[in-house]
């Protein structure tokens, strides 16, 4: 189960005793702490499916996890819909005629729960993986919504996300198999056809993204950072290849720029530092192609 936290912009509706409020469970276009971005339309299918069967999405506190002080089924979401901003959620606290219900609603009004958090899984084929510097890790276009929680978000929102993901972690063999199969297809497409070929950094990163997703599906956590694809040492040939593929330069231009602008690039695979790799991507992201001549020799 993945999660994303959004600050709770509360609006209250109905009578003071109704326990009704609304906010946003997700905001489109925002990149979260794990590098994911939710795209407009991501919730359309799952909301339509729930509406067709007359179902609703559960309302929990802190994803219903006792270790986080959570509670399950504290209310109902009466209306969920996408608008231009994100997933708009209207809800109602249950048991407003009880001390527990009134107490929870008062804490919502007082700001003790300053965030909403959705629990979701990415639908098959529902993610677009970033392959360039500065792109989100995943752009999510299809999400299966599991629940929406009130959360007492700590100052470090990432801490809550990690705690929730750890507590919710259950091996997902189907998701792991899909990710590994995607990595195998990329391997066969880019690396298996030509026994003398060499994959580019971009192709290696795409394969590693799928493998990391498979690792997370089985363990509930991201792969250790020492397996990060972007810390694979770039060689000068990698730099030249990226300049040709991403900027449309000739072999001559790519060789000249790699030698002149990235002289610190290691010559041997496996010796780059994270700073070396960061410098490479900073070079590419800041490059102004229109200023270059198009000598294709």
**Active-site positions?**
63, 117, 147
- Reported as half-sphere exposure (CB side, CA atoms, 13 A), residue 211 has a value of 16
User: Rounded to an integer, what distance in angstroms lies between the CA atom of residue 79 and that of residue 84?
Assistant: 16
> What are the CA-CA distances from residue 15 to residues 85, 102, 236 (Å)?
26, 13, 68
* The CA-based dihedral angle spanning residues 8, 99, 91, 6, taken in that order and rounded to the nearest 10 degrees: 20
Contact between 43 and 54 under an 8 Å Cβ cutoff? The reply is no
Give me the residues paired with residue 143 across strands. 122
Long-range contacts of residues 132-139, Cβ cutoff 8 Å, at least 24 apart: 132/202, 132/246, 132/284, 132/285, 133/281, 133/282, 133/284, 133/285, 134/281, 134/285, 136/31, 136/35, 136/36, 136/37, 137/34, 137/35, 137/36, 137/209, 138/35, 138/36, 138/37, 139/36, 139/37, 139/39
User: Rounded to an integer, what distance in angstroms lies between the CA atom of residue 183 and that of residue 137?
Assistant: 16
User: Rounded to an integer, what distance in angstroms lies between the CA atom of residue 130 and that of residue 133?
Assistant: 8
């Amino acid at each position: 189960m993945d999660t994303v936290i959004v600050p709770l912009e509360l609006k209250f509706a109905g009578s003071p005793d109704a326990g009704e409020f609304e906010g946003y469970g997700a905001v489109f276009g925002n990149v979260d702490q794990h590098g994911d971005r939710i795209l407009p339309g991501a919730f359309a299918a799952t909301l339509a499916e729930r509406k067709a069967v007359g179902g609703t999405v559960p309302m929990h506190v802190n994803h219903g996890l006792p270790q986080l002080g959570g509670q399950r089924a504290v209310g109902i979401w009466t209306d969920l819909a996408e608008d231009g901003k994100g997933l708009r959620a209207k809800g109602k606290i249950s048991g407003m005629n009880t001390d527990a219900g009134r107490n929870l609603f008062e804490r919502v009004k007082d700001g003790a729960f300053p965030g909403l958090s959705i629990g979701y899984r990415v639908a098959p084929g529902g993610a677009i993986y970033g392959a360039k510097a500065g792109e989100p890790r995943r752009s999510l276009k299809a999400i299966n919504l599991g629940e929406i929680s009130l959360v007492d978000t700590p100052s470090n929102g990432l801490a809550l996300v990690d705690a929730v993901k750890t507590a919710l972690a259950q091996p997902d063999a189907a998701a792991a198999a899909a990710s590994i199969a995607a990595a195998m297809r990329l391997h066969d497409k880019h690396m298996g056809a030509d026994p003398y070929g060499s994959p580019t950094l971009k192709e290696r990163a795409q394969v590693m993204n799928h493998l990391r997703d498979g690792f997370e599906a089985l363990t509930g956590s991201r792969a250790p950072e020492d397996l990060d694809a972007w810390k694979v040492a770039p060689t000068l040939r990698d730099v030249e290849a990226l300049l040709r593929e991403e900027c449309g330069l000739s072999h001559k231009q790519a060789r000249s720029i790699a030698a002149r602008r990235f002289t610190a690039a290691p010559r041997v695979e496996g010796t780059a530092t994270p700073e070396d790799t960061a410098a490479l991507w900073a070079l590419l992201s800041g490059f102004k192609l229109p200023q270059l001549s198009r000598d294709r020799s």
